[in-house]
């Protein structure tokens, strides 16, 4: 992670100079479903996940958020067995077959895997908001409308496993090759989203800001075409691959086969080369995709420099200063730039609606006026508008781009915890 390389006084002065509040809550309300066939696993009696932990634990979601405030489906139905299990095959599916102009590109350059898209899936989705005529409506009235998002990640090509995994935020924890986000296994109420919520026939649904996402691997991507190990189906935000349900001998994997982050290490085909590498797997059981982030913190920013933009382009002006949205003065960015590095800080609200500090440390200039990077959320050093760096930890929360129209006008686009925000900002000093 790059943070310790930065001078703390600079960070503190940047943050304390910023009296800004992100007016967008990333609260995650929705409804959800699933269907499938699996050898060796009884899909009619899957244990309802109930392990939400504050440290890595097998079979659990190691959650950054520890307080939950409702949302999700409001009624449970006959697929909940009453003995702590549920019947995946008995869950109603959100009706519909809506096609979307999906955009999704994967590219590799300068040691970075760039993922850019609009989060709209390459497969059809159900009809959202859930129609009153849908039989699922009696259980889950997901009122959200699917909308295009600014999906953008710079992932390291060769992530390294860390002995101390990171917690999972609400919001995106990965992207599947269908072009849409993976969220963790929890709904807004901190419950097993696959057990309690209803999804469409590709296991997706939109949250409050319209971001279509899965809480489990979509069955609309082909898994196990050859009978052996599952193919790569997506990427986690720490850069590691997400694979399907099947291990090296074609066996259906369970939590018992995987570590606390829901992955394991063996030889895989990685960008056309056979390498021994950590990777995540889907299981039919909770937590379904990822239990915690195994990648070294900061690896998903790509590159190995400490806070340097190592791209071939560089800015032609110095944009350092305090940038505020004049139409909504509770929102702003404190931005610092010198020859070798840039820092961006803002105060926002996390998925629970609590204030949270965010920072972008090693953003890259993709043109002389466009800067993008991974957004980190600080925890432990914050809690209000007072920032205490001595206690700060950080975890990946999303991504942000700052596009400068001039030295006094810019647009900040960010995706944090699954919510997208785009703001015109002006430099006030």
Interface positions with Zn ion (CB under 5 A): 30
265 or 407: whose CB is closer to Zn ion?
A: 265
Cis before residue 313, ω within 30 degrees of 0? no
- Whose Cβ is closer to Zn ion: residue 170's or residue 344's? 170
Q: Which is nearer to Zn ion, 303 or 351 (CB)?
A: 351
| Residue 111 to residue 392: CA distance in whole angstroms | 29
Smaller CB separation from Zn ion, 30 or 427: 30
Which residues have C-beta within 8 Å of that of residue 325, sequence separation ≥ 6? 331, 332, 423, 424, 425, 426
> To the nearest whole angstrom, how small is the minimum distance from the Cβ of residue 32 to Zn ion?
6
Q: Could you give phi then psi for residue 5, rounded to 5 degrees?
A: -75, -20
- Residue 223 CA to residue 228 CA, distance in Å, equals 10
Query: Which residue number places its CB atom closest to Zn ion?
Result: 30
Q: Are 377 and 350 in contact (CB under 8 A)?
A: yes
CB 347 within 8 A of CB 359: no
Which CB sits closer to Zn ion, 30 or 377? 30
* Least distance from Zn ion to the Cβ atom of residue 404, Å: 34
Closest approach of Zn ion to the CB of residue 30, in Å: 4
Smallest gap, in angstroms, from Cβ of residue 197 to Zn ion?
Answer: 6
Q: Where are the beta strands (DSSP E) in 190-262?
A: 204-206, 212-214, 232-236, 241-243
Min CB(12)–Zn ion separation in Å: 36
User: DSSP labels for 114-132?
Assistant: EEEE-S--SS-B--SSPPT
Residue 201 or residue 301: which is nearer to Zn ion going by CB? Answer: 201
Phi, psi of 391, deg, nearest 5: -105, 5
Q: How far apart are CA 374 and CA 227, in angstroms?
A: 37
User: In whole angstroms, how close is the CB of 379 to Zn ion at the nearest point?
Assistant: 22
């Amino acid at each position: 992670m790059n943070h310790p390389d930065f001078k703390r006084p600079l960070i503190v002065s940047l943050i304390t100079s910023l009296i800004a509040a992100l007016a967008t809550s990333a609260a995650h309300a929705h409804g959800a479903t699933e269907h499938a066939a699996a050898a060796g696993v009884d899909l009619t009696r899957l244990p309802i996940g109930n392990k939400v932990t504050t440290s890595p634990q097998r079979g659990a979601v190691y959650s950054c958020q520890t307080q939950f405030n409702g949302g999700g489906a409001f009624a449970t139905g006959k697929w909940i067995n009453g003995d702590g299990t549920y019947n995946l095959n008995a869950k109603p599916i959100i009706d519909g077959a809506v096609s979307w102009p999906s955009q999704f590109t994967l590219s590799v350059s300068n040691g970075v895997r760039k993922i850019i898209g609009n989060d709209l899936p390459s497969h059809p989705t159900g009809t959202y908001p859930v129609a009153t005529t849908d039989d699922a409506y009696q259980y889950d009235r997901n009122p959200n409308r699917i909308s295009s998002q600014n999906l953008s990640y710079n992932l390291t090509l060769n992530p390294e496993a860390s002995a101390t995994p990171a917690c999972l935020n609400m919001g995106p924890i990965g992207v599947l090759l269908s072009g849409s986000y993976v969220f963790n296994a929890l709904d807004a109420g901190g419950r097993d989203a696959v057990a309690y919520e209803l999804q469409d026939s590709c296991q997706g649904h939109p949250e409050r800001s319209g971001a279509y996402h899965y809480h489990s691997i979509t069955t609309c991507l082909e898994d196990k075409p050859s009978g052996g190990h599952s193919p790569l189906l997506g990427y986690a935000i720490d850069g590691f691959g997400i694979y399907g349900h099947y291990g090296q001998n074609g066996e259906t994997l369970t939590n018992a086969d995987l570590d606390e982050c829901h992955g394991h290490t063996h030889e895989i085909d990685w960008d056309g080369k056979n390498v021994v590498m950590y990777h995540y797997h889907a299981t039919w059981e909770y937590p379904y995709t990822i239990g915690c982030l195994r990648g070294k913190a900061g690896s998903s920013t790509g590159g190995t420099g400490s806070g340097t933009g190592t791209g071939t382009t560089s800015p032609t002006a110095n944009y350092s200063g305090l940038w505020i949205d004049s139409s909504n003065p509770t929102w702003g960015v404190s931005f610092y730039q010198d020859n070798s590095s840039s820092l961006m800080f803002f105060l926002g609200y996390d998925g629970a609606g609590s204030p949270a500090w965010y920072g972008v440390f090693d953003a890259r200039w993709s043109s002389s006026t466009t800067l993008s990077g991974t957004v980190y959320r600080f925890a432990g050093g914050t809690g209000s508008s007072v920032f205490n760096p001595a206690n700060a930890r950080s975890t990946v929360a999303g991504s942000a781009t700052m596009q400068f129209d001039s030295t006094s006008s810019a647009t900040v686009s960010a995706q944090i915890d699954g919510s997208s925000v785009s703001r015109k900002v002006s430099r006030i000093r």
